[in-house]
């Protein structure tokens, strides 16, 4: 079993303008994902993220321990695609993670990232 | 010994799940065998002997490893799922029980880059030495060794399993295996320099890879079509180079073609599994094989049925359109209907950083008597050509104008 974080690149604005039918498709796709994970492993958590405009970035100046705390508005990376949601799941292997991800809405780009144990 | 390599790697992997150790362990065992067997005699069960020796190596390594190393992530396998399946008989017997197939599917996984997958397949499934894999892909040996190590780390790190996937996705995974094998095959025909002009012997290893997989899945259409295609291309290997120079198809000594391989390919092309509906990849391999078969079965270059070749290229362009197929079709059109028709078929065709469209245009312009335009096109092709042997060929053609 491997613990994977499934990161979803998707813009919330697309959701805001979605029709009832589209929304039903999205809900059904997420249900199918969760059902697959439940059958083959464990779903530890999930979340939908607000737009990057609502993000706040916090870091230490110069990455030094005594560096001044800098709080800025916006996400830490300027990117075309932003993470719009995530799943935290435990599945047997990458093949299962890909099979689960394939059930998600077709408008998503999905990144599957294994978690590791820091020792 | 090499025939057993993939099976032994697979057995060691399912037992120890340490992708970083098995290859070295088996390599050491083979090395010891090559020294002791000629002196002590070959054991009754050579594979068993190698397995025992390799196992001992792995166990030695595991014993001397530090605690940190022991916490390394292990290769994921479907051993647990297999037991589950056996208990419930869930898959109605369509579960494939073969460690070598697991190994092949792990090496040729879609989450690996095709080139990395090809190198890894040759190394782990067939035991091709890293130096030879490097020669095939025209990179220095340390570069290839690093590439293979990276691929192995990626397999364990990303969680690519040593497993046979569900029957529903197995065909598309075998399509990837076919693509990986074909990439390994064509690498041997990418012109190098000097005595390594073609590394056709190493392309033969890729054919062996296709045969191994086909042995496990005999009716897989993509693999049947691919084997036909590579056999036909490979059958010309001895006629393709003369005195360190490439020989064009029309000028090749057809007596030096391997006609037994042509015959095998023709049998494969008549296989019933290719008669029904097939995937675009399979259709593309089968059509390319049928084009190669037109050449292979023509008694002389003049006897080539270019009308049929053009027709097959028309179908190929429908199934999988590509600039190189368009280029090849234009050449066939020129043979069938003359250089003017060929030039018309070439109209607007460009392949970035590739000299071939300009080279073909130059050749057709020369044939239609437009020497000035031909010279200009040759100049363009020569400027874009990155390979010494091919550039020399183009310079010679230009001088002949």
Instruction: Tell whether B227 and B146 lie within a shared domain.
Output: no
Instruction: Tell whether B213 and B224 lie within a shared domain.
Output: no
Q: Is the pLDDT at A74 greater than 60, yes or no?
A: yes
**Locus of tokens 């070598």:** B100
Neighbouring-strand partners of residue A42? A90
Q: Residue range B262-271: average pLDDT?
A: 97
Q: Residue range B362-380: average pLDDT?
A: 95
Instruction: Tell whether B305 and B227 lie within a shared domain.
Output: yes
User: What pLDDT does B91 receive?
Assistant: 42
Contact predicate B296/B262, CB 8 Å: yes
User: What pLDDT does A82 receive?
Assistant: 86
User: What pLDDT does B155 receive?
Assistant: 96
Backbone angles phi, psi at A44, to 5 degrees: -90, -25
Structure tokens at B195: 């005595």
**Is B88 part of any domain?**
no
Residue B93 binned pLDDT confidence (cut-offs 50, 70, 90): very low
Q: Residue range B293-316: average pLDDT?
A: 96
**Is B82 part of any domain?**
no
Q: Could you report the predicted ipTM of this complex, rounded to two decimals?
A: 0.84
A94 to B78: CB separation less than 8 angstroms, yes or no: no
Q: Residue range B186-212: average pLDDT?
A: 85
For chain B, how many structural domains are there in total? Answer: 4
Tens-digit pLDDT profile for residues B108-165 = 999 999 999 999 999 999 999 999 999 999 899 999 999 999 999 999 999 999 998 8
Instruction: Tell whether B212 and B233 lie within a shared domain.
Output: no
Min CA distance, A27 vs chain B (Å)? 24
Q: Where in the sequence is the domain holding B29, given as residue range(s)?
A: 7-74
Min CA distance, A82 vs chain B (Å)? 22
Neighbouring-strand partners of residue A91? A2
Tens-digit pLDDT profile for residues B201-218 = 899 999 999 999 999 999
Q: Is A71 helix (H, G, I), strand (E, B) or coil?
A: strand
Instruction: Tell whether B178 and B232 lie within a shared domain.
Output: no
Min CA distance, B177 vs chain A (Å)? 15
Measured between CB atoms, which of B109, B157, B161 is closest to A114?
A: B157
H/E stretch holding B381 reads helix B371-384
**Is any Cβ of chain A less than 8 angstroms from the Cβ of B338?**
no
DSSP state of B272: G
Backbone angles phi, psi at A69, to 5 degrees: -75, 125
B169 to A99: CB separation less than 8 angstroms, yes or no: yes
Interface of B with A in 77-96 (CB under 8 A): 78, 80-81
**Is B90 part of any domain?**
no
Instruction: Tell whether B325 and B367 lie within a shared domain.
Output: no
Instruction: Tell whether B147 and B197 lie within a shared domain.
Output: yes
Residue B92 binned pLDDT confidence (cut-offs 50, 70, 90): very low
Q: Is the pLDDT at A80 greater than 80, yes or no?
A: no
Instruction: Tell whether B12 and B110 lie within a shared domain.
Output: no
H/E stretch holding B150 reads helix B141-158
CA distances from A80 to A13, A77, A95, B133 (A): 14, 10, 28, 39
**Is B17 part of any domain?**
yes
Identify the CA nearest to A100 among candidates A48, A22, A46: A46
For CA atoms B373, B374, B375, B377, the dihedral sign is positive
Instruction: Tell whether B283 and B322 lie within a shared domain.
Output: yes
Residues 6+ apart with CB under 8 A from B135: B196, B199, B202
Domain residue spans in chain A? Answer: 2-52+81-114
Tens-digit pLDDT profile for residues B2-20 = 778 999 999 999 999 999 9
Measured between CB atoms, which of A93, A117, A119 is closest to B159?
A: A93
Contact predicate B115/B206, CB 8 Å: no
Contact predicate B380/B365, CB 8 Å: no
Min CA distance, B159 vs chain A (Å)? 5
B80 to A98: CB separation less than 8 angstroms, yes or no: no
**Is any Cβ of chain A less than 8 angstroms from the Cβ of B157?**
yes
Residue B350 binned pLDDT confidence (cut-offs 50, 70, 90): confident
**Is B343 part of any domain?**
no
Tens-digit pLDDT profile for residues B213-240 = 999 999 999 999 999 999 999 999 999 8
Instruction: Tell whether B159 and B260 lie within a shared domain.
Output: no
Letter string b/e over residues B51-72, b meaning 16 or more CB atoms within 10 A of that residue's CB: bebbbebbeebeeeeeeeeeee
Average pLDDT, chain A: 92
Residues 6+ apart with CB under 8 A from B7: B47, B99, B100
Class of domain A2-52+81-114 as given by CATH: alpha beta
Interface residue of B112, B159, B168, B172 to substitute, partner A, most A CBs within 10 Å: B159
């Amino acid at each position: 079993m491997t613990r994977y974080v499934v990161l979803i690149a998707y813009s919330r604005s697309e959701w805001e303008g979605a029709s009832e039918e589209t929304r039903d498709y999205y809900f059904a796709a997420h249900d199918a994902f969760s059902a697959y994970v439940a059958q083959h492993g464990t779903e530890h958590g999930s979340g939908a993220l607000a737009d990057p405009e609502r993000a706040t970035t916090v870091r230490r100046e110069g990455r030094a321990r005594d560096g001044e705390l800098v709080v800025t508005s916006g996400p830490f990376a300027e990117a075309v695609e932003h993470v719009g949601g995530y799943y935290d799941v435990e599945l047997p292997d990458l093949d299962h993670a890909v099979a689960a991800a394939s059930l998600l809405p077709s408008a998503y780009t999905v990144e599957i990232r294994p978690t590791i144990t820091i020792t | 010994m090499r025939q057993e390599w993939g099976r032994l790697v697979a057995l060691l992997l399912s037992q120890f799940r340490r992708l970083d150790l098995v290859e070295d362990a088996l390599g050491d065992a083979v090395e010891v065998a090559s020294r002791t067997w000629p002196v002590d005699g070959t054991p009754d069960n050579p594979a068993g002997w190698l397995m025992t020796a390799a196992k001992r190596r792995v166990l030695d390594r595991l014993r001397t490893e530090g605690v940190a190393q022991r916490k390394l992530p292990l290769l994921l396998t479907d051993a647990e799922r297999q037991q589950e399946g056996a208990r419930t008989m869930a898959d109605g017997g369509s579960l494939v029980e073969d460690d070598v197939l697991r190994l092949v599917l792990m090496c040729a996984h879609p989450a690996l880059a095709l080139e990395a997958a090809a190198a890894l397949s040759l190394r782990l499934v067939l035991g091709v030495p890293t130096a030879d894999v490097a020669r095939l892909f025209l990179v220095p040996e340390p570069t290839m060794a690093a590439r293979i190590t990276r691929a192995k780390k990626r397999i364990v790190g990303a969680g690519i399993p040593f497993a046979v996937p569900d029957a529903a996705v197995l065909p598309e995974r075998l399509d990837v295996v076919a693509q990986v094998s074909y990439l390994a095959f064509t690498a041997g025909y990418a012109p190098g320099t000097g005595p390594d002009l073609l590394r056709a012997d190493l392309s033969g290893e890729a054919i062996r890879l296709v045969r191994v997989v086909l042995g496990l899945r005999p009716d897989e259409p993509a693999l049947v079509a691919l084997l036909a295609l590579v056999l036909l291309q490979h059958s010309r290997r001895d006629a393709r180079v003369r005195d360190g120079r490439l020989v064009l198809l029309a000028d090749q000594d057809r007596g030096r073609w391997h006609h037994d391989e042509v015959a095998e390919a023709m049998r494969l092309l008549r296989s019933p599994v290719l008669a029904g509906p097939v995937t675009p990849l399979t259709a593309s391999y089968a059509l390319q094989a049928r084009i190669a078969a037109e050449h292979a079965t023509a008694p002389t270059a003049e006897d080539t049925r270019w009308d049929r070749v053009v027709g097959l290229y028309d179908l190929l362009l429908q199934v999988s359109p590509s600039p190189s197929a368009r280029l090849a079709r234009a050449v066939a059109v020129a043979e069938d209907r003359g250089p003017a028709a060929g030039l018309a078929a070439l109209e607007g065709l460009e392949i970035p950083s590739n000299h071939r469209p300009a080279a073909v245009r130059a050749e057709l312009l020369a044939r239609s008597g437009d020497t000035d335009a031909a010279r200009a096109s040759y100049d363009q092709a020569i400027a874009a050509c990155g390979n010494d042997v091919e550039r020399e060929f183009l310079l010679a053609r230009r001088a002949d104008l």
